[in-house]
Chains A and B, each alone.
Chain A
Amino acid sequence: MKTRILNLIKIALKAIVLNKMRTLLTMLGIIIGVASVIAMLAIGEGSKQSIRDEISSMGSNMINIRPGSDSRGGVRMNPNEMQSLKLEDYEALKKQAGLLSYVTPQVSGSGQAINGSNNWPTSIYGVNPEYLNIKIWELTDGSMFTNAEVRSAAKVAVVGQTVVENLFTTGEDPIGKMIRFNSIPFKIIGVLAEKGESNFGQDQDDVILAPYTTVQKRILAIDYIQSIVASAVSEEDAQSAVEEISAILREQHNIASNNDDDFNVFSMDELISTFSSTSEMLTVLLVAIASISLLIGGIGIMNIMYVSVKERTREIGLRMSVGAKGADILLQFLIEAVLISVTGGLIGVLLGFTVTFLIQGVLGWPTIITTYSVMVSFLVCAVTGIFFGWYPARKASALDPITALRYE
């Protein structure tokens, strides 16, 4: 048995080498099939991932709490002028809400920032240090203010790149410098990393962050808070977190069960669902394209395998006439098909990786090679190759040797 298999492997190898062109063409079908599917799915997965990253970089689990409109007495009032959110609400959320990882009060005002002879109209946000975690913002320089500085209402600020560019035109280091905002002096202790425009066209770098206590007392002269910004522990928990917040705030505000909320809680739900439906569509599209290329690759493999076995029917007849058994023929062609398909598949995988890295390197597209794309494309091509090498060989080996010999 061992010599028999060994002999058949030798015959198969010999046939592969003898028919270089045919082997090459068959392999080419498999190589291109496998490589294109791997590269395509890598591009698709890469762009999906980059969309997902962009969503989470926007703070996809962010939750906004604003005062709601109040219609008591029949007159509906502008929610922004309501003073229904208090620091106690923030403290209650901080203490009781289990689904929130970070929470900060927020007050904001706009005005003119001045440094020497430069001035720039911008907005100031009064927040606590957790704000950076909620927004997923980073600092390039200096540090964020501390909770101690919040408690003492220190006049310190962290500024965005746009503010730096407009107030420090000579390119000097802004850290430690004093600027004035609406004539209140602030010491710059940190600079935010550049973020560019938000998806809604807003310049996210045109901002000054300061302790909320400072903004409340020194700029706005208010004791309520305008909104509370929080982040849920995860994207999936955002909706439950919204419900939890509502329950806590209703209790805080002593709202009877038959009355409406006097606040609004917004999560990024809709945004998330829009983006996830987009990425889902992208996935469907990719799978469709990949299936089509696999199908076409498979048909190519089928064709060449089928024809190459058919045209060797006479050879099969001759081999049988000198004593090869049907099983010998079948095994020889099966070994040939396996060798060609597996080698082609492996080369295809290598080429797929190369093409993917080239795309990433030259075009700069994000790519991710997934295990399943490698497995599926390799398996489909290899199995097609093996099947269509085996099937016509099986038919030929079932012929009478004399019929096979006469085959034209």
Chain B
Amino acid sequence: MAKTTIKIDDLKRDFRMGDEIVHALRGVSLDIHEGEFVTVMGSSGSGKSTLLNILGCLDSPSSGSYEIDGVPVSSLDRNALATIRNEKIGFIFQSYNLLPRTTALENVELPLIYNNKISSEERRRRAVEALEMVGLGERLGHTPSQLSGGQQQRVAIARSLVNDPVIILADEATGNLDTKTSYEIMALFQELNRKGKTITFVTHEPDIAEFSGRTVVLKDGYIIKDDTNTNINDAARALTALPKEEEV
């Protein structure tokens, strides 16, 4: 068995909305191992985004334990959490969240700027490498407004790769993209996964989930299904099967 990257046990998260308390997570336990490609599915309000935010150390659980790469996170303070985010996690957002008017290269360098152990030469080298990995080696100096949605998301993926995290967390990373571009992005994720990256991907689209090796389904704050996908769809092949718009 591969190393356990993420280990959560009986995780709960309550939100206070005025007088009402919303139970977004009601006790979730989950292990994710090194090299896995997991999709988390569920309708809106199922708690999947809350779970991902907690996994990404952007949010703290109300109760329960969470260990990432062997580090118990629940007891850490804000600064220690920032360091965990900086060194162990790559986060990808639905809306890309790139800095406007800032080049792709500088956007990708961003996490490393907050890591004092990395020199500026090293930072640049790794950012270029990450951008090459996502196929944007030719567009280092482009700003987000000069890039298409798919390309912007690739920049965001490069940014999540640049600190060599133990896990990449993607929150509806294809939600803003058309099917073709979504499949291209999924092909990229599959390729990264083959290279050994551990990926957790939140989506509500079943066809996207088919590209992953394991699907966890959440409903009303509980895990109702946790299946291993034996019949993984290959995104690169799915892409060629799409009707070719150009030829119509």
Contacts and interface: CB of A to CB of B under 8 A. Distances in A.
A322 B159 contact: yes
Contacts of B97: 314, 318, 321, 405
B194 interface: no
A11 B113 CA distance: 9
Q: Pick from A14, A321, A323, A402 the residue with the most CB of B within 10 Å.
A: A323
A348 interface: no
Interface stretch (B17-25, B84-92, B202-210, B214-222): B84-92
Interface string A314-335: 1100111111111110000000
Contacts of A326: 78-79, 82
Contact of B86 (A11, A314, A323): A323
Given A402-B53, A402-B59, A325 B87 contact: no
B160 to A, nearest CB: 9
Given A323-B85, A400-B59, A4 B99 contact: no
Interface string B147-170: 000000000000100010000000
A297 B108 CA distance: 39
B114 A323 contact: yes
Interface string A294-322: 00000000000000000000110011111
Given A328-B114, A400-B59, A323 B101 contact: no
A193 to B, nearest CB: 68
Nearest to A8: B113
B197 to A, nearest CB: 17
A321 B79 CA distance: 12
A1 B93 CA distance: 30
Contacts of B119: 3
B58 A323 contact: no
A389 interface: no
Interface string B226-244: 0000000000000000000
A320 B82 contact: yes
Contacts of A221: none
Range class of the B interface residue count = 20 to 34
A321 B91 contact: yes
A7 interface: yes
B29 to A, nearest CB: 22
A256 interface: no
B53 A325 contact: no
A1 B53 CA distance: 29
Contacts of B56: 321
A322 B107 CA distance: 11
Interface in B71-88: 78-79, 82-83, 85-87
B111 A18 contact: no
In this complex, the interface size class of chain A, counting residues with CB under 8 Å from chain B, is: 20 to 34
A315 to B, nearest CB: 6
Nearest to A6: B120
A323 B99 CA distance: 15
A333 to B, nearest CB: 15
A4 B58 contact: no
A322 B78 contact: no
Given A315-B99, A318-B99, A405-B97, A325 B114 contact: yes
Contacts of A401: 58, 85
B101 A7 contact: no
B114 A322 contact: yes
A324 B116 CA distance: 11
B115 interface: yes
Contacts of B111: 322-323
A323 B83 contact: yes
Nearest to A400: B59
B110 interface: yes
A318 B191 CA distance: 26
B54 to A, nearest CB: 10
B145 interface: no
A320 B85 CA distance: 9
A309 B86 CA distance: 23
Nearest to A314: B97
A367 B58 CA distance: 59
B102 interface: yes
Interface of B: 53, 56, 58-59, 78-79, 82-83, 85-87, 91, 93, 97, 99, 101-102, 106, 110-111, 113-116, 119, 159, 163
22 contacts: A3-B119, A7-B113, A7-B114, A14-B102, A18-B102, A319-B110, A319-B114, A321-B58, A321-B85, A321-B97, A322-B91, A322-B111, A323-B83, A323-B85, A323-B86, A323-B87, A325-B78, A325-B83, A326-B78, A400-B58, A402-B53, A405-B93
Given A322-B110, A324-B82, A325-B114, 7 more contacts: A3-B116, A3-B119, A318-B110, A321-B58, A323-B114, A326-B78, A400-B58
Interface of A: 1, 3-4, 7, 10-11, 14, 18, 314-315, 318-328, 400-402, 405
